[in-house]
Chain A
Amino acid sequence: MHAADAALADEDRLRAEMYRFLAGLLLHAPESQALAGIGQLSPDSTTMGSAIGELAEVARSADAKEVSEEYEALFIGLGRGELVPFGSYYLTGFLNEKPLAKLRQTLGQLGIERREDVKEPEDHIGTLCEVMAGLIDGSYGSPADAATQKQVFTEHIAPWAGHFFADLATAQEARFYAPLGRIGAEFIRIEGQAFEME
């Protein structure tokens, strides 16, 4: 999919793909074609693999309209959804607070900026996953080194993403998104543990 992929180590390619997978499903509800594909994923015996298996099972029994309604109830809602998937909100109880300002500073240093026509704050969990994927696979230019990845993860994702995914896993409205929450929580745990070794 990306030209830089050929030069990436296997584990980095998988990390980037996992971040992009999470980003894709967190930024919008999946269309029926994507749901059909997710329905074909096969489980394995690991924590990650069993959550993937559950996600696939729900994907096979749900239609895109149902999942879209679930997405609305979870993240959009009337005024607000059951969850507010922004870092600033998780860390301070309010949107657009200091954590967002710090993130913008970091992104500025990395030369990443949002498109002008987009007003959405950058600290959306899906956006952060996209940023990590881009840093890993070089979509923003060339792959960022592990120290840079670690900095972004440690400062802007680790403090709250695990809580968010745990909330998603147990959210009342979550059916398709509950196993996705488990996948995200496990992935964030693995990433955190790995970065500690760096």
Chain B
Amino acid sequence: MARHEQDDSGTDRRGFLKLASLGSVATGAALVIGDEAEAAPVQTATDGYRETDHVKTYYAHARF
């Protein structure tokens, strides 16, 4: 559906991306992380923001 609309507008871009060596390494890499993400529900994309240690860093900075 949406795919066909995009294909019409960005043919050059899509051709470039196909050649841009995102290739099989990317697929394999994503599977690696995907397994881990599925094991932990908080990591799904729609729940993208989560409590992490960055919070501590953030507040430490915000004081300055």
- Minimum CB–CB distance for B48 against chain A, Å: 4
Assign chain A's interface to a size class. 35 or more
Write the nearest CB–CB distance from A141 to chain B, whole angstroms: 9
Q: Are A52 and B7 in contact (CB under 8 A)?
A: no
Closest 9 CB pairs of A and B: A17-B30, A37-B32, A114-B49, A139-B45, A24-B33, A46-B21, A11-B17, A118-B49, A197-B13
A2 to B14, CA, bound (A): 21
The reply to whether A34 and B36 form a contact with Cβ atoms under 8 Å apart is yes
Query: A29-42 toward B: CB 8 Å interface, digit per residue (1/0)?
Result: 01101100110111
* Complex Cα–Cα for A149 and B22 (A): 18
Q: Given A20-B45, A194-B13, is A117 in contact with B61 using a C-beta cutoff of 8 Å?
A: no
Are the CB atoms of A120 and B13 closer together than 8 Å? Answer: no
Closest to A72 in B: B53
| Distance from B10 Cβ to chain A, minimum over Cβ atoms (Å) | 5
Contact (Cβ within 8 A) B37 A20: yes
Categorize the interface residue count of chain B: 35 or more
Q: CB within 8 A of A146: which of B6, B23, B26, B37? A: B6
Pick the contact of A79: B7, B27, B60 (CB < 8 A). Answer: B60
- Contact of A1 with B17 at beta-carbon distance under 8 Å, contacts A14-B23, A49-B25, A146-B10 already known: no
Given that A194-B16, A194-B20 are known contacts, is A140 also in contact with B54, CB under 8 Å in the complex? Answer: no
Residue numbers in B under 8 Å from A145 (CB-CB): 2, 5-6
Is A76 within 8 A of B2, CB to CB? Answer: no
A160 in contact (CB, < 8 A): no
Given contacts A15-B17, A28-B52, A95-B62, contact A1 B3 (CB under 8 A): no
What's the minimum C-beta distance from B12 to chain A, rounded to whole angstroms?
A: 4
B28 contacts A40, C-beta separation under 8 Å: yes
Give complex CA distance A42, B50 in Å: 31
CA distance A25 to B50 in the complex (A): 14
In the complex, the answer to whether B33 meets A44 with C-beta atoms within 8 Å is no
CB closest chain-B residue, reference A189: B20
Q: How far is the CB of B62 from chain A (nearest CB, A)?
A: 6
- Determine if A156 is an interface residue (Cβ-Cβ < 8 Å): no
Q: A14-B22, A21-B30 are in contact. List 7 more A-B contacts (CB 8 A).
A: A84-B61, A85-B54, A95-B61, A95-B62, A134-B46, A146-B13, A190-B20
